[in-house]
Amino acid sequence: MILAPQNQNKTIERAGLALRQGKLVVFPTETVYGIGAASNNPNAVAKLYEVKKRPQFNPLIVHCANKEMAFKLVKVTKLAKQLGDIFWPGPLSLVLTCLDNSPICSLARAGLDSVALRVPSHPICKKLLEIAGRAHCCAICQSQW
């Protein structure tokens, strides 16, 4: 899939559908290009670890379309809310404790009770996350392991 100005919206819609179908998608954020998978889909997340040759003890960052979506996944502290209000959307990752009913699969969190959340400001990434809806994306850059 090539993202060109004349087909950008259609391509982003196809990428969002691909995420919902458990496929991997490469997309830009404001800091890096990452490979994304639906964080609520253990098979897609396992595929992401495999493709990146990333050890499964190394948790992923979960990207969300907005802070409201992000804060529905975790126990929100007063400080986290303040930081999210100031810096999101933008290149800030917050590590917070997951809610017991969080849809983020254990593998995406490397079995931890916490998760790193980010609300990107990059317009393509933002639109992709909005289209993907509840399929929150895990994104990583090159694994150093």
In this prediction, residue 6 has a pLDDT band, given cuts at 50, 70 and 90, of confident
At 72, list the tokens.
């529905």
| Token output for 21 | 């179908």
Element housing 94 (H / E): strand 90-97
Summarised one tens digit per residue, pLDDT across range 88-104 is 999 999 999 999 999 99
Instruction: State how far the Cα of 24 lies from the Cα of 37, in Å rounded to an integer.
Output: 5
Per the prediction, the chain carries an average pLDDT of: 90
Q: Are 120 and 138 in contact (CB under 8 A)?
A: no
> And the tokens for 98?
């997951």
How far is it, in rounded angstroms, from Cα 119 to Cα 107? Answer: 20
Note the pLDDT tens digit of each residue in 15-35: 999 999 999 999 998 988 889
Q: Which fold has domain 9-140?
A: DHBP synthase (3.90.870)
Q: Which of 55-59, 68-72, 91-95, 133-137 has the lowest mean pLDDT?
A: 133-137
